[in-house]
């Protein structure tokens, strides 16, 4: 639902939250109890104003919140033989070849000072080639496709 539609729904809900109780109280509920129309409609309007203000609070939250989605919007797909697709960060060894993955490097001590911000995660991560590796975040683990220098793969 678009932002303008959300604001329109919020406005209509606010108008209805004010008008319906005012009419119900002014025409149906209060006439048997109060004969003076000035007092009856004043009370009905006060009740409508209270309910309308609650609807305004709800409507603002409804109109400005981010649209809810069932997923994070991220698509991860590995379609080829021995392909690997990782939608987020990778810290472990990854190997798509016949040889085992190289041993992970020894963790280095973090440098003092500000650290650069990680790049934004990609929305679509796809590894479609044979022995392909695709990572949507940062990689700190060793990678191996099993390809050796000088080897020719079809």
Coil, helix or strand for 144?
Answer: strand
> Do 140 and 86 share a domain, yes or no?
yes
pLDDT at position 154: 47
User: Residue 153 has what pLDDT?
Assistant: 46
Domain count, the chain: 2
Of 30, 24, 22, 16, nearest to 47 (Cα)?
22
The answer to whether the predicted template modeling score (pTM) of the entire model surpasses 0.75 is no
Tokens 């683990």 -> residue: 141
pLDDT tens column, 128-140: 777 888 877 788 8
Confidence check: pLDDT of 38 > 80: yes
Report, as an integer, the average pLDDT of 4-15.
Answer: 95
Please, what is the end-to-end C-alpha distance for the chain in angstroms?
48
Task: Determine the length of the chain.
Answer: 154
Same domain assignment for residues 77 and 130: yes
Whether 42 and 17 share a structural domain: yes
Q: Are residues 59 and 102 in the same domain?
A: no
- Render pLDDT for 85-128 as a digit per residue (tens, 0 to 9): 787 787 888 877 766 555 555 555 555 556 555 555 456 777 77
Which structural domain, as residue segments, surrounds residue 10?
3-64
Q: Please name the residue that has the structure tokens 């009370």.
A: 43
The confidence band for 63, taking pLDDT boundaries of 50, 70 and 90, is very high
pLDDT score for 47: 96
pLDDT value at residue 149: 56
The answer to whether 146 touches 99, Cβ cutoff 8 Å, is yes
Residue showing tokens 């991560």 = 125
58 and 18 Cβ atoms separated by less than 8 Å: no
H-assigned helices in the chain: 3-23, 37-64
Residue 141 and residue 79 share a domain:
yes
């Amino acid at each position: 639902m678009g932002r303008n539609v959300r604001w329109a729904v919020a406005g209509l809900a606010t108008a209805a939250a004010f008008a319906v109780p005012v009419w119900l109280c002014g025409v149906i509920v209060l006439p048997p109890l109060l004969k003076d129309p000035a007092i009856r409609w004043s009370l009905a309007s006060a009740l409508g104003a209270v309910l309308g203000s609650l609807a305004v609070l709800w409507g603002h939250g409804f109109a400005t919140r981010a649209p809810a989605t069932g997923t994070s919007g991220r698509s991860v797909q590995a379609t080829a033989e021995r392909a690997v697709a990782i939608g987020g960060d990778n810290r472990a060894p990854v190997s798509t070849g016949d040889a085992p993955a190289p041993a992970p490097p020894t963790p280095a001590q973090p440098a003092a000072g500000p650290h650069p911000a990680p790049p934004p995660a990609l929305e679509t991560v796809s590894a479609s080639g044979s022995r392909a590796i695709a990572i949507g975040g940062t990689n700190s683990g060793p990678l191996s496709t099993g390809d050796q220098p000088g080897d020719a793969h079809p």
